[in-house]
Amino acid sequence: MSTSKLWGGRFKEGVTDVAAAYTESVSFDQAMYRQDIAGSIAHARMMARQGVISREEADALCLGLESVREEIESGGFVWRRDHEDVHMNIESRLTELVGEIGKKLHTGRSRNDQVALDFRLFVSDRSRVWQDRAIGLVKTLAGRAQENTATLMPGFTHMQPAQPVSLAQHLLAYAVMFRRDVERLKDADRRIRVSPLGAAALAGAAYPFDPASVAAELEMTGVFANSMDAVSDRDFVLEALFAASVVMMHLSRLCEDIILWATPAFGFIRLPDAYSTGSSIMPQKKNPDVAELMRGKTGRVYGALMALLATMKGLPMAYNRDLQEDKEAFLDADRTVSSSLEVMAGMMAELVFVPERMRLALRRGFLNATELADYLVGKGLPFREAHHITGQAVALAEERKLALEDLPLEALQGLCPRIDREVYGALDFDQAVARRGISGGTAPDAVGRQLAELRAWLAKAGG
């Protein structure tokens, strides 16, 4: 039993050790000590400006808080579970250091608005790390795309070979997904960085506070609109977790491509040794474990989003302790998304592409069939008829175990007398790709424009 709580005034008995272990959060919320101290410093300074405490008192509090931060960063700070959370650990150490004045820090403030402020700053800081890493990945993908604007490969629909595309086009599809992710996180950041300080427990502080000046000092975008919402809202965590889930979904799709491409059946890439593992029983194997794990970990991040949505749905106004559950879910998702983005950038930088295998797959998959149909349309045939004749040409090539472009002219003319020697130019893969010059298309010049746009974005985004 313990009775040494900062809130223990009306309590005769402490909670049992089991209950204390069950309710404590300091083992994980100490991660946001920097944000807690920054918030407290801003609160103390604002109180001095508003005449709620004296300048000297505010100076002593700020100096004390800085010392606590140094203690934490030098590893000398002792985190006490009986002080429950990061807030009370820091405040009680502050009071040990500066004496009675320390007890003034919490004037007009509740842990309810304090934790909401700390966590908003923390979520925003972490989401900026994700943004930086996503920008790094976009840069890597753009670099690999640049090297491969003329590397052709099959593009798929329904997992069936469909039309030739450049490898650059395929890689840029992912680059623009991660660019969108960065934009999504930036947009959410405006709502994450709204200060709840001044909402106090739920009804608003009864002191002449100036919440806007606290928000400005902490580089936030605004202040709470309603005190009850301010202490009970966790939309900001949900938005970050949703954005993280989308990042992971994009990463997982890329992993799926990597896993397929590394199979002997595809053979489009060779996995770098640093990103694959062997089998303990089958000596020939090189497994794409890193990509598989990333695909697997995606589920954990979705889990965090689902867990918090479920936690929120039954909460009455205003603060309820259930809200403490936001932190572990977020911390786990943060570890996953930040490490995944970093690992993927490393893996993409080192992947070895095998263009010969991509070419071979093009020829075997009749990926120039659409070109033949378009060629026939050019000769005046209605598209439906052109489609039908092309189907017959594919069947003939299949029967003779040849690629379309290897069928002799007479054989093609047997299907349609209007076909002439120019058909071989139409069937050429490079020409097929070059015809897709539409903005956002796979032709080298269209890919060049996509790359230029991406580079301009990267320059602005700090990549």
Q: How far is the CB of 212 from ligand ARG (least distance, A)?
A: 24
Q: How far is the CB of 90 from ligand ARG (least distance, A)?
A: 12
Token pair recorded at residue 315: 């909460």
Nearer to ligand ARG, 150 or 309 (CB): 309
Q: How far is the CB of 85 from ligand ARG (least distance, A)?
A: 4
- C-alpha distances out from residue 381 to 14, 114, 392, 423, Å: 89, 73, 15, 14
Token pair recorded at residue 311: 């936690």
Token pair recorded at residue 85: 């959370």
Q: Which helix (H) or strand (E) holds 270?
A: strand 269-270
Q: How far is the CB of 78 from ligand ARG (least distance, A)?
A: 19
Among 74, 158, 280, 439, the active-site one is 158
**Residue 92 annotated in active site:** no
Q: Residue 178 contacts by C-beta under 8 Å, 6 or more apart in sequence?
A: 134, 137, 138, 141, 247, 250
Per-position b or e across 78-95, b if 16+ CB within 10 A of its CB: eeeebbbbbbbbbbbbbb
Return the ∠ at Cα 445 (arms to 441 and 446), rounded to 5°: 25
Nearer to ligand ARG, 292 or 325 (CB): 325
Q: Residue 189 contacts by C-beta under 8 Å, 6 or more apart in sequence?
A: 124, 127, 128
* Strand ranges (E), 327-423: 352-353
**Residue 252 annotated in active site:** no
For residues 72 and 88, the answer to whether their CB atoms sit within 8 Å is: no
Among 2, 54, 279, 339, the active-site one is 279
Nearer to ligand ARG, 321 or 384 (CB): 321
Q: How far is the CB of 25 from ligand ARG (least distance, A)?
A: 4
Residue type at 148 in one-letter notation: N
Nearer to ligand ARG, 27 or 392 (CB): 27
Q: How far is the CB of 66 from ligand ARG (least distance, A)?
A: 23
Q: How far is the CB of 34 from ligand ARG (least distance, A)?
A: 16
Nearer to ligand ARG, 112 or 148 (CB): 112
Nearer to ligand ARG, 114 or 149 (CB): 114
Residues that bind ligand ARG (CB under 6 A): 25, 29, 85, 111-112, 115, 319, 321, 323-324
Categorise residue 344: left if φ over 0, alpha if ψ from -120 to 50, beta otherwise: alpha
Q: What's the rounded Cα separation, in Å, for the pair 245 and 326?
A: 15
* Strand ranges (E), 122-244: 152-157, 160-166, 194-195, 222-223
Q: Is 453 exposed, middle or buried (0-12, 13-18, 19+ CB in 10 A)?
A: middle
Token pair recorded at residue 298: 């995606």
Nearer to ligand ARG, 297 or 327 (CB): 327
Q: Is 295 exposed, middle or buried (0-12, 13-18, 19+ CB in 10 A)?
A: buried
Name the residue whose CB lies closest to ligand ARG.
Answer: 324
Active site members: 158, 279
